[in-house]
Amino acid sequence: MPAQETSALTLALVAGGFASFGVLAKIAYDAVIARRTSNKESLERFATERREAYERFLDAVQRERKYQGALRGLLNAHRQGKTEITDEEQAAFPDSPMPDLVAALDQVQRLARVYSVITAADAIVRLFVDMDRASRAALETPGPNDEITWFLLHRLVEDRISEFVHGYREDLGLGHPVGGPKRFPIVEKRPVSLEHSERVLRGHIPRRP
């Protein structure tokens, strides 16, 4: 009988142990699921904020490109001997979106999860500053390479926008479009990095004394 009692006691303890383990496992599982659900909801919430920040930045970029084009138009008109601007032309001239662009960049830097988004955005803003410097230099000390510099700056901005959009899609989990290249919209390999190209071009833009 003692053996049977011991056996029964052992079974009771084992059964109780498995029951406790089951309860603890259920608690741990529920905690993991709750944490994953919370993380997912948090990521989804911040994903919406990131999307809005990225769209705001791209909108400011497009307005800055329009502004730079208008400045270039004034420069070309000046080269052709035009020295006055009409009230209508002044009213139609766009305001500088640079403050909005810098504010949007700040949001991108705070919210982005993918570093390439930040580096691309930083480079875009720097290139627009380079455009300002190039236009000022072309106005004050015109040179034979002004148009080449302007063209290259625009191409570099386009490449950086492609990098930004690629990082944007990666950050938000969009991936590449079905049937598209994996690094869409980046479609070509470069013999030298964008950083090096920008550094070289920047070094050829005259600096004001």
User: What is the predicted pLDDT for the residue at 115?
Assistant: 93
Residue 32: count of CB within 10 angstroms of its CB: 10
Domain boundaries along the sequence of the chain = 48-203
Q: Are 172 and 49 in contact (CB under 8 A)?
A: no
At CB < 8 A and 24+ separation, what contacts does 49-53 make?
Answer: 49/111, 50/111, 50/112, 50/113, 50/171, 50/172, 51/172, 53/104, 53/107, 53/108, 53/111, 53/112
Rounded Cα distance between 74 and 68, Å, is 10
Rounded Cα distance between 160 and 127, Å, is 9
Local confidence pLDDT in tens for the 209 residues of the chain:
454 545 555 555 555 555 554 555 555 555 454 454 444 444 556 788 999 999 999 999 999 999 998 888 888 887 777 666 677 777 777 788 999 999 999 999 999 999 999 999 999 999 999 999 998 888 888 888 889 999 999 999 999 999 999 999 999 988 888 887 777 887 667 788 899 999 999 998 987 66
pLDDT digits (tens, 9 = 90+) for 171-207: 998 888 888 777 788 766 778 889 999 999 999 898 7
User: What is the predicted pLDDT for the residue at 202?
Assistant: 93
Rounded Cα distance between 100 and 60, Å, is 6
Q: Are 121 and 109 in contact (CB under 8 A)?
A: yes
Q: Which residue has the tokens 């063209």?
A: 151
